[in-house]
Amino acid sequence: MTLLDVRGLTVRTADGRTLVDDLSFTVGSGERLGLIGESGSGKSLTTLAILGLLPTGMTASGSVELAGTQIVGAPEKRLTAVRGRDAAVVFQEPLTALDPLMRVGRQIAGPLARRTGLRGPALRSAVLDGLEQVRLPDPERVARAFPHEISGGQRQRVALAMALACAPALLIADEPTTALDVSVQAEILTLLDTLVAEREMAVLFVSHDLAVVARVTDRALVLKDGRCVEEGPVLDVVGAPRAPYTKTLVDGARTLQAALDLRSSR
Amino acid sequence: MTPADLLTRAPAPARRRGRSVTLAVGVTLAGLIALLALVSLVWLPYATDDTSGGRLAPPGDGHLLGTDKLGRDLFTQLMTGSRIAVEAGLGSVAIAALIGVTLGVLAAFAQGWLDDTLAAFLDILIAFPTLLLAMLVVAARSATLGSAVLAIGLAQSAVVARLVRILVKRVLAEDYVTAARTSGTSWPRTVAGHVLPNIWPTLVVNLALQFGLAVLAEAGLSYLGLGAPPPNASWGRMLQEAQATFTTAPAGALAPGVLLVLLVVGVNLIADGLRDTLDPATRGRRS
């Protein structure tokens, strides 16, 4: 079943520049699609357009159908109902994606209460469950902490817990590991992988990092200047790139890898 | 202790103490005036229209600070003056906060030409002199404390609205607002849950400063006879009345002047102290 159906999505600024150009792709339920591209390629805008959250001044045209709801041009009320329930987002920078003045527990409690209608002690224990599911040690302490009082990796786990609290059909991960240390990156990816598999969630994984996308997703789509240059099974895209742009990306990644191999073999 | 330790560690506790001292001194000064104001509600040394003390009596002898040129007890007038000053400050700030925050939040959501128009409108309102506005209000109503407070509150609401507009715009651009929106939080809930709490620390400091300014403005209006009418002694009118006899009986002008300074300085110190204690990020760093 098709969960997300994007057809001819085009995003333009107020002064007429085209940032996403006639983009089409689908994500089936339970499927994992990687969106690859460097900064400025329009991948983050695509994720925002899927939720009808484009920055002011930008307009989307074309069609975005999320779980049967047309997003482009939908009224705010319908969008609010769709967001969280059908798709939730984990952002790149967990420090700025968490409210600095709100305790972590309350930030997770918000979407959780809206979805489940829980209150009081039941809500509290559900929040602690949510924190435990993302393998946070000492959830009681974390729930009471402000975002600046926990580490970067812990913050991203909290952000993940917030997104999962919505129990969305589609999880949109917008560069979820880019801002993290390499060792923490691997942990978060494994966690994301397990949690999504357990819940049979669909994933739209946005990243500039080929290796990360190859690890998490089944299918990949390469974006350049807002256009799709290549799409296919992730192993084909990474193993035998057809588009010249994808080749450059893969070669770049391989050069780095080779440098690492060379150093470690010495 | 190495020199490096001195550089990195020593200033921190000193600054921490400095901050709490600021707050404590501010609370003490403003609290003193607030106490006078509260006591004046239930007890005064003399009735406000009691002129039995004789004209310009020196301090002491039944009159702590002496009497004014009409024979009224100065300390009694100072006490009712404190009440009026505190009322003026609280009333003006309440009006300014109510109108300013509402207008500021709405203006922050406005787009395009409406946004520009509102911003220009607020700037014009701020440029309009408070004194003129007060005269207009007094002319339209009458010279009462209420009129003065209304005028001051209206003038300040423009300042508050402009500040709130900028603060809200900044918060709306933050990732956590987008994050809240992606999880299906409606606009009203986002504003109540994320926007207002995040502008609160800056806002409350500014409101404390506005309180001090309102007290000064009320004294200014009373000095010109546009404030509370007699027999409610306002510090501003006491200053004006004691002006002519300043050389012979300086207490009449000095006392309200000193109290005015104490209250305004006290409130400003509170604002400074609050600035640091309200931000959990700095709270965390200090502990």
Give the span between the Cα atoms of A79 and A95, in whole angstroms: 26
Question: Is the model's pLDDT at B286 over the cut of 50?
Answer: no
Among chain B residues, CA nearest to A92: B175
Average pLDDT, chain B: 84
The predicted model gives B16-37 an average pLDDT of 85
Q: Write the Ramachandran bin of A167: left for phi over 0, alpha for psi from -120 to 50, otherwise beta.
A: left
Cβ burial B78-96 (10 Å sphere, 16+ → b, else e): bbbbbbbbbbbbebbbebb
Q: Which of A236-250, B111-125, B260-274 is the most confident on average?
A: B260-274
* Higher local confidence (pLDDT), B4 or B160: B160
Question: Is the model's pLDDT at B266 over the cut of 90?
Answer: yes
Give the span between the Cα atoms of B14 and B24, in whole angstroms: 15
The vertex-A90 CA angle with A18 and A112, nearest 5°, equals 125
Give the span between the Cα atoms of A178 and B103, in whole angstroms: 39
Q: How far is B1 from chain A (nearest CA, A)?
A: 28
Give the span between the Cα atoms of B95 and B151, in whole angstroms: 10
- Torsion from C-alpha of B154, B158, B164, B170, nearest 10 degrees: 170
Cβ burial B245-279 (10 Å sphere, 16+ → b, else e): beeebebbbebbbebbebbbebbbbbbbbbbbebe
* Chunked mean pLDDT (size 10), chain A, 266 residues: 92 90 92 89 90 88 92 90 89 87 91 86 92 90 92 90 90 86 86 89 90 89 90 89 88 83 71
Among chain B residues, CA nearest to A51: B182
| A15 class by beta-carbon count within 10 Å (0-12 exposed, 13-18 middle, 19+ buried) | exposed
In a domain, A266, yes or no: no
B198 inside 8 A of chain A by CB: yes
In a domain, A265, yes or no: no
Question: Is the model's pLDDT at B14 over the cut of 50?
Answer: no
The vertex-A41 CA angle with A251 and A184, nearest 5°, equals 65
Residues from chain A contacting residue B194 (CB–CB below 8 Å):
99, 102
| Residues facing B67 on adjacent strands | B73
Strands A18-28 and A2-12: antiparallel
Residues from chain A contacting residue B193 (CB–CB below 8 Å):
102, 110
The verdict on a CB contact (< 8 Å) between A91 and B111 is no
Chain segment B201-226, per-residue pLDDT in tens: 899 999 999 999 999 999 998 888 88
What chain B holds in terms of domains, given with CATH numbers, is: 26-41+73-278 (1.10.3720.10)
The verdict on a CB contact (< 8 Å) between B187 and A76 is yes
B3 inside 8 A of chain A by CB: no
Interface probe, candidates A78, A99, A102, A107, chain B, greatest B C-beta count within 10 A: A99
B129 inside 8 A of chain A by CB: no
B202 inside 8 A of chain A by CB: no
Give me the domain span that covers residue A24. Answer: 2-260
| Residues facing A34 on adjacent strands | A205, A220
> How distant is the alpha carbon of residue B274 from its chain centre?
14
Question: Is the model's pLDDT at B285 over the cut of 90?
Answer: no
Q: What number is the ipTM of this complex?
A: 0.84
In a domain, A200, yes or no: yes
In a domain, A49, yes or no: yes
**In this structure, what CATH number is given to the domain that contains residue A98?**
3.40.50.300
Interface probe, candidates B169, B182, B200, B285, chain A, greatest A C-beta count within 10 A: B182
At B90 the pLDDT is 96
Please, are residues B175 and B129 in contact by the beta-carbon 8 Å criterion? no
Among chain A residues, CA nearest to B183: A84
Chain A interface residues (partner B, CB cutoff 8 A) = 48, 51, 53, 56, 76, 80-85, 87-89, 91, 93, 96-102, 110-111, 114, 146, 148-149, 159, 162-163, 165-166, 172
Q: How far is B108 from chain A (nearest CA, A)?
A: 12
At B107 the pLDDT is 92
Residues from chain B contacting residue A44 (CB–CB below 8 Å):
none
Query: Three-class SS string for chain B?
Result: CCHHHHHHHCHHHHHHHHHHHHHHHHHHHHHHHHHHHHHHHHCCCCCCCCCCCCCCCCCECCECCCECCCCCEHHHHHHHHHHHHHHHHHHHHHHHHHHHHHHHHHHHHCCHHHHHHHHHHHHHHHHCCHHHHHHHHHHHCCCCHHHHHHHHHHHHHHHHHHHHHHHHHHHHCCHHHHHHHHCCCCHHHHHHHHHHHHHHHHHHHHHHHHHHHHHHHHHHHHHCCCCCCCCCCCHHHHHHHHCCCCCCCCHHHHHHHHHHHHHHHHHHHHHHHHHHHCCHHHHHHHC
- Residue A75: other Cβ atoms inside 10 A: 8
The verdict on a CB contact (< 8 Å) between A110 and B193 is yes
The predicted model gives B123-147 an average pLDDT of 85
Number of domains forming the structure of chain A: 1
The verdict on a CB contact (< 8 Å) between A93 and B175 is yes
